[in-house]
Amino acid sequence: MRVLKFGGSSLASVARFLEVAAIVRSQPQTEPVGLVLSAPHGVTNLLVELTDLAFLGTGYQDALNGWRQRLQKMRADAAAVLGNEAQQRLQAVLAAQDATLSNRRQGVELLHYCPDHIKAQLLGLGEQFSVALMAELLLAQQVKAVLLDSVQCVKSQGDYLNAVADVPASEIALGAAVKKQPAQVYVLAGFVSSNTQGELCLLGRNGSDYSAAIVAAALRASVCEIWTDVDGVYSADPRQVKNAKLIDHLSYDEAMELSYFGAKVLHPKTIGPLARYQIPCYIKKYRDWE
């Protein structure tokens, strides 16, 4: 298995989803791909805004409408490349997400408070939309893709909003799911996981890198590739230090130290599972943004 993770900016529109699908299709067929995805760019922030304001019972409408418009536009854009049944499945995913948002929001309004486990369920919706859309796009292109439910397969412990990986439990859950459904591409939502009680827990903001590391460690992947819009890790923040150098190779310890001290390229918790199981990690530039 080779694990590839794509972040929100590479999933900002259906056109970008299709570019990611093309990268996935161009991978060597010798090993299956574990494809870990973030939410489309900006979607998690809209959900954060919505959950932060929901307890007031007012002021959340702009965020809710923004979320609806973003996803409905993507669904409409995807219609050009999806068959009728795929379009209907995607519409059903959106309708279910809309119902979840409405129900939870009403509950939060009545409570005047948003408990963390409810917040986690709402903030994770963006990734779950990404994987539903990507799986349909890949299937429409005759790629044998299977959607694995990260809530069932990626296991964690601790906080609802900032959980820590449980790699041995993920190994059991993911191993069984992969064995049951042979495929060329396994599509998994980043950011979401579940605890031993099966409750949805998030892996912290920007946690999809961490998800990819957990999946890679649990399945003993040959590689974990983080596809992003920067060149890689620099010796210093290139926006602040003019002659910052792009670093060729880093040890796990060095990478951990750099991300701990603020290098944004990798989520700080990402290196742990990769180091423990000695999985090589590559930062790959997705493309130069216009």
Give the binding site for ligand ASP (CB under 6 A).
7-8, 38-39, 44, 126, 190-191, 205-208
Phi, psi for 275 (deg, rounded to 5): -65, -45
CB of 104 to Mg ion, least distance (A): 25
268 binds Mg ion, rule: CB under 5 A: no
- Whole-number Å distance between alpha carbons of 127 and 123: 9
By beta carbon distance, the residue nearest Mg ion is 7
Q: How far is CA 40 from CA 9, 126, 130, in A?
A: 7, 7, 7
Q: If binding means CB under 5 A, how many residues of this protein chain bind Mg ion?
A: 2
206 binds Mg ion, rule: CB under 5 A: yes
25 binds, among ligand ASP, Mg ion, none (CB under 5 to 8 A by kind): none
Nearer to ligand ASP, 170 or 211 (CB): 211
Give the chain's length: 290
191 binds, among ligand ASP, Mg ion, none (CB under 5 to 8 A by kind): ligand ASP
Q: By 3-state DSSP, what share of the chain in percent is helix, strand and coil, each rounded to 5?
A: 50, 15, 35
51 binds, among Mg ion, ligand ASP, none (CB under 5 to 8 A by kind): none
Nearer to Mg ion, 70 or 267 (CB): 267
Nearer to ligand ASP, 32 or 190 (CB): 190
Using only the alpha carbons of the chain, give its radius of gyration. Answer: 19
Nearer to ligand ASP, 117 or 205 (CB): 205
- Whole-number Å distance between alpha carbons of 88 and 6: 25
CB of 208 to ligand ASP, least distance (A): 3
Nearer to ligand ASP, 2 or 5 (CB): 5
Pairing of strands 145-148, 200-202: unpaired
* Angle, CA of 43, 45 and 47, to the nearest 5°: 75
207 binds, among ligand ASP, Mg ion, none (CB under 5 to 8 A by kind): ligand ASP
CB of 211 to ligand ASP, least distance (A): 8
CB of 202 to ligand ASP, least distance (A): 8
Q: For residue 30, what are the contacts with CB-CB under 8 A and spacing of at least 6?
A: none
54 binds, among ligand ASP, Mg ion, none (CB under 5 to 8 A by kind): none
Which of 7, 32, 124, 273 contacts Mg ion by CB under 5 A?
7
E strands present in 112-270? 145-148, 156-157, 164-165, 185-189, 192-194, 200-202, 223-228
CB of 85 to ligand ASP, least distance (A): 28
CB of 36 to ligand ASP, least distance (A): 9
Q: For residue 9, what are the contacts with CB-CB under 8 A and spacing of at least 6?
A: 16, 41, 228, 229, 286, 289
Contact residues toward Mg ion (CB under 5 A) are 7, 206
